[in-house]
Amino acid sequence: MGILEQMSLKGKAIFVTGGARGIGKSVAEAFCQAGADVAIVDLDLETAKETAEQLRRDTGSDTRAYGADVTDPEQVNAMIEAFLKDYGKLDAAFCNAGICLNVPAEEMTFAQWKKVLDVNLTGVFLTAQAAGKVMLKQGYGSIINTASMSAHIVNVPQPQCAYNASKAGVIQLTKSLAIEWAKRGVRVNSISPGYIGTDLTLSSPDLKPLIAQWNAMAPMGRLGKPSELQGICVYLAGDASSFTTGADFVIDGAFTCF
């Protein structure tokens, strides 16, 4: 099998959580361009439908939208059941949904802490677990979890202890699942993006003032683009990464190198 064939996702069925916008939407687009049929899973079903329609129109892929709260196991399981009914199999899953609250640790309420951990860590576990159950029965599959460079460093100047802790947990969860499922055909890896210039980041009144500070600290002097995460995700979802599992890929323009 040649490298171009290995990188192709033709005939594969994939779901993307948090796929309605931002990193999830960009990676879903790449999956479609590589030939996959992709389900856009998001709490915001209306925007998910808009994204799915756009990708279907632009790429010709069988792209559908599903509404689900990744912190609710019943909703996650219902989404998986609907996905399998529509697609018949599950080749790859991009467990990407996440949130961040910038609150000083001494002021953070338990509800705020729990919300971040519920979405970023428990949500990844529930979607990866549900995907894993299907893939273990099939004997194959690839799961990609979104961690963050914040799992490796403490970001400044924004206070985000819950986010940092949750993303560190994603990496260790990824490694744990990879070890458990390595001999059963299911691969589990994570990506750790640096600061990425999504529409939300660029327009957020809380984050926009920080961009100049981040860029001043960044070796490349800029934010990453959502499209710069596409290649690694296509690689991990496809056959080219058949010997890759339990790995975390840091895509941060060398931000964490010092």
DSSP letters for 112-136? HHHHHHIIIIIHHHHHHHHHHHHHH
Please report the pLDDT score of residue 126 as a whole number: 98
Please report the pLDDT score of residue 11 as a whole number: 96
**CATH placement of domain 3-198+226-250:** 3.40.50.720
Please report the pLDDT score of residue 203 as a whole number: 80
Please report the pLDDT score of residue 61 as a whole number: 97
Tokens of 153: 């460093």
Please report the pLDDT score of residue 188 as a whole number: 98
CA distances, 68 to each of 64, 123, 128, 158, 233 (Å): 13, 11, 14, 29, 22
Active-site residue set: 148, 163, 167
Map out the domains of the chain as residue ranges.
3-198+226-250
Q: Which regions in the chain score pLDDT beneath 70?
A: none
Please report the pLDDT score of residue 251 as a whole number: 98
Please report the pLDDT score of residue 97 as a whole number: 97
Length of the chain, please? Answer: 258
Please report the pLDDT score of residue 208 as a whole number: 81
Please report the pLDDT score of residue 201 as a whole number: 83
Please report the pLDDT score of residue 164 as a whole number: 98
Please report the pLDDT score of residue 37 as a whole number: 98
Please report the pLDDT score of residue 199 as a whole number: 84
CA quadruple 18, 19, 25, 30: dihedral positive or negative? positive
Question: Which pTM was predicted?
Answer: 0.97
